[in-house]
Amino acid sequence: MNEAREPIHLDDAERDRIRRTLRRYMIEHHIGTPTLQGQIIDADEPRHREIPLSTLQRFLTGSHRTSDHHVLLCHDFVKELPYYGEGKDIAFFGKAVSAFFQPQQDSDARAEVIAMLERDVLGSYEAFRPPPKDNPMPLWDMHISNISFTPSGDSPWLEVRETVDGMSRRETRHKFEGAALYAAPYLHIFLRDLFTRQPRLFTLEKKTITYEQDEYEGFEGRGQDATPRQRMRSSSLVNFFEVKLVPKAEEVALR
């Protein structure tokens, strides 16, 4: 007798999670789409249902709306992977923090906030830490991370993901996820370190940022996070830092 399947709500966010997990699996296992297709079919015990290669390719690129039947095959393949579902609880957190900080909004006010976030915030940015004001040396802004803001359905807040550089930009030292909301006149970002589970916060203002002699419409403000234990001193439980967010080149071309 077949076990009853737990209902899966295949909304756009869930489809995107499955897609991201499959892509990560392909990268980590150094395989292409044909090999992935075979593994998905083999893993479908005992029926070994077919998923056409062209269908899987279109699902991975997001170019077409894939049928629920084929997406469920992909879900069954990724559901036991340790990194499946990363970011799944962002929606719950974003909804809660938005309700806590933002007043009740009528439909027009809500639509106005959503439109503002899409117009002024949505997209990918590079985060820079400016040189200390009390340092006499002519230092330059230091690149610290990449941050992306994406919509979470029709919500007055954005999903946020941040990747912090290691010793070089090709290395990842920390990954964060969370939510951003606008409480005039500030953009507030609430993040969680995926490795340590510690919080990371930003309070930013929309600013014209000068970077490498060019001007960009970005954000400027302050961030804070917990000081790593190995660098902790008695007076520095929390690490405060100035930060600038500059839109990536491809985003500038679209604005």
What's 220's domain CATH number? Answer: 2.40.128.120
- What amino acid occupies position 185? P
Give the domain extent around 42: 12-78
Q: Is residue 217 a contact partner of residue 247, using CB atoms and an 8 Å limit?
A: yes
Q: Are residues 187 and 132 in the same domain?
A: yes
Question: Is residue 13 exposed (0-12), middle (13-18) or buried (19+ Cβ within 10 Å)?
Answer: middle
Q: Are residues 100 and 156 in the same domain?
A: yes
pTM here is: 0.66
Q: Are residues 40 and 137 in the same domain?
A: no
* Last residue of one domain, picked from the residues 26, 47, 78: 78
Q: Are residues 104 and 229 in the same domain?
A: yes
Which helix (H) or strand (E) is 234 found in, with range?
A: none
Q: Are residues 37 and 110 in the same domain?
A: no
Q: Residue 213 phi/psi, 5° resolution?
A: 70, 5
Q: How many CA atoms lie within 13 A of 221 on its CB side?
A: 17
Domain assignment present for residue 84? The answer is no
Q: How far apart (Å, rounded) are the C-alpha atoms in residues 164 and 34?
A: 33
pLDDT, position 158? 92
Largest CA distance in the chain: 75
Q: C-alpha distances in angstroms, 158 versus 76, 94, 149, 169, 180?
A: 28, 8, 6, 25, 5
* Last residue of one domain, picked from the residues 78, 100, 120: 78
Domain assignment present for residue 5? The answer is no
- Which tens digits make up the pLDDT trace of 212-236? 778 899 999 999 998 765 554 555 7
Interacting residues of 33 by C-beta distance below 8 A, sequence separation 6+: 26, 53, 56, 57, 60
* Cis peptide bond prior to 82, omega within 30° of 0: no
Domain assignment present for residue 2? The answer is no
Q: Are residues 35 and 115 in the same domain?
A: no
pLDDT, position 127? 95
pLDDT, position 250? 59
For 31-50, b/e burial (b = at least 16 CB within 10 A) is eebeebbeebeeebeeeeee
Q: Are residues 135 and 223 in the same domain?
A: yes
Q: Are residues 134 and 206 in the same domain?
A: yes
Interacting residues of 235 by C-beta distance below 8 A, sequence separation 6+: none
Count of beta carbons in the 10 Å neighbourhood of residue 191:
24
- Which tens digits make up the pLDDT trace of 118-131? 999 999 999 999 88
* Last residue of one domain, picked from the residues 78, 98, 130: 78
What mean pLDDT comes out for the span 83-112? 83
Q: C-alpha distances in angstroms, 49 versus 14, 93, 116, 191?
A: 21, 36, 45, 40
Q: Is residue 162 a contact partner of residue 145, using CB atoms and an 8 Å limit?
A: yes
What mean pLDDT comes out for the span 163-178? 71
Q: How many domains does the chain have?
A: 2
